[in-house]
Amino acid sequence: MRQADTHLKQILIADDDSDARFILEQLLTTAGYAVTAVENGKKALEASATIEFDLALLDVQMPGLSGMQVAEAFKGDDSLKYTPLFLITALGELEDLQRGFAHGADDYIVKPFNLAELSARISSVGRRYTGNPNPIITHGALDIDLASRSIRRDGKQVHLTLREWALFEAVLSRPGQLLSKAQLEEKLYAFDAEIESNTIEVHVSRLRKKLGPGVIETERGLGYRLGAS
């Protein structure tokens, strides 16, 4: 794993799975982060009362206070609501993930962990929040709230599926850069669903209907990029 992102120093891990918790703690400590690892949601909230965390990794299915309930508590507390939150999940919990994103979660990681992807996602969150605790991007008619993963088009709420958001965020985070179909397909592998040959085309078509026809441009045979604002 790459060295710690300079924008993120203190990381909270809350997971009742001792093996998963140990792996994450060792991984992030080795990368240079200061890590506090706890086994339940109650201890996560207790730790957050005394330590200012830059990122929290929360297991969705902890007994007692679930990761979802901890996320809701974070977002309901003025001193914690801008803390980036990752949900730790097993495959097949898409409904839980959708509810988590609705309550302000920023991203998710899937067991077993892909360490390289986790590293990249943590660094991405660090860049996303640097100097802006509630990052909102305006792109043409779109107001995009990266913290809550919500979008408004001409003032009206736009609802994206998890897969649609994953693809849109990929092009949004690389303005001007052409992303190949293969690069975008990689964004969908974690959803435990077979990726058919026309999956990207279908999702891009749906995004254009929801966000506007010029938001994602196609370079035929080469890939996709964010359109001009």
Global pTM exceeds 0.85:
no
Percent of the chain with pLDDT over 90: 28
* 6: nearest Cα among 146, 136, 130: 130
Question: Domain for residue 3, yes or no?
Answer: no
| Predicted local confidence at residue 4, as pLDDT | 47
Among 106, 129, 152, residue at a domain's last position = 129
What is residue 10's three-state secondary structure? strand
Q: Per-residue pLDDT tens for 61-120?
A: 898 998 889 998 998 887 887 788 888 887 555 666 677 777 667 787 777 777 777 777
- How big is the CA angle at 16 (ends 84 and 85), to the nearest 5 degrees? 5
Q: Per-residue pLDDT tens for 115-146?
A: 777 777 777 776 666 555 556 778 889 998 87
Domain count, the chain: 2
Structural tokens at position 37: 């690892």
Tell which wins on pLDDT, 168 or 163: 168
State whether 201 and 124 are in the same domain: no
| Predicted local confidence at residue 44, as pLDDT | 96
Question: Domain for residue 105, yes or no?
Answer: yes
For all residues of the chain together, what is the average pLDDT? 81
Among 83, 102, 129, residue at a domain's last position = 129
State whether 217 and 154 are in the same domain: yes
Structural tokens at position 171: 């092009």
Tell me if 1 sits within 8 A of 119, measured CB to CB: yes
Is 90 buried (19+), middle (13-18) or exposed (0-12) by CB count in 10 A?
middle
- Supply the range of the domain harboring residue 216: 136-226
